[in-house]
Amino acid sequence: MGIENDIKQNKFKSEYQKAGINLMFTVRGMEHKHFQLLKKFGITPPQFNILRILRGQYPKATTVNDLIDRMIDKASNASRIVEKLRGKGMVERKTSESDRRAVDVAITAKGLDLLKQVDNVEQEFYFGIGTLSNEEVKQLNALLDKGRGSE
């Protein structure tokens, strides 16, 4: 039982290597589940991430640079993702009120409605984490923050 069975490997160089592999394996499983669930709603994980950020800003708009700073996957092309979402009617671009040269992005009612639908199945996103107690999840969050140096 455990990562040993999942990847059919009994020996690791160290507990640190085992933990790293275990974490990567778990993340990949979560990413796959996340992708499959979002596919049902016609969006990708980076699009979902941008919509969530914009919902948190709502009713205010924000810049593409702010979206990039706050995205989980920093390698994503935020401008391209915003354009795809705009094409689906989920976000709108408008000239910034503070800087006429800049463009702000805001979520639309259609984007908010889609997120409400996703919220209804949100528990499915948590893969195996949903089996942990509230206290265990707090401990996991603290350990992950510590491991990233973000205590």
Name the pLDDT band for 129 (thresholds 50, 70, 90).
Answer: confident
Domain that includes residue 105, residue range: 43-144
For residue range 14-62, what is the model confidence (pLDDT) as tens digits? 999 999 999 999 889 888 988 999 999 999 999 999 999 999 999 999 9
Structural domain contains residue 76: yes
Q: How far is CA 93 from CA 12, 34, 89, 115, in A?
A: 50, 27, 11, 19
Total of domains in the chain: 1
- CA-nearest of 53, 69, 68 to 111 is 53
Tell me the residue ranges of DSSP E strands in 14-115: 62-63, 91-95, 103-107
Please state, in angstroms and rounded to a whole number, the distance separating the CA atoms of residues 93 and 28: 33
The answer to whether residue 21 sits within a structural domain is no
Give the predicted TM-score (pTM) of the model. Answer: 0.85
CATH number reported for the structural domain that contains residue 99 in this entry = 1.10.10.10
Asked if residue 22 is part of any domain, the answer here is no
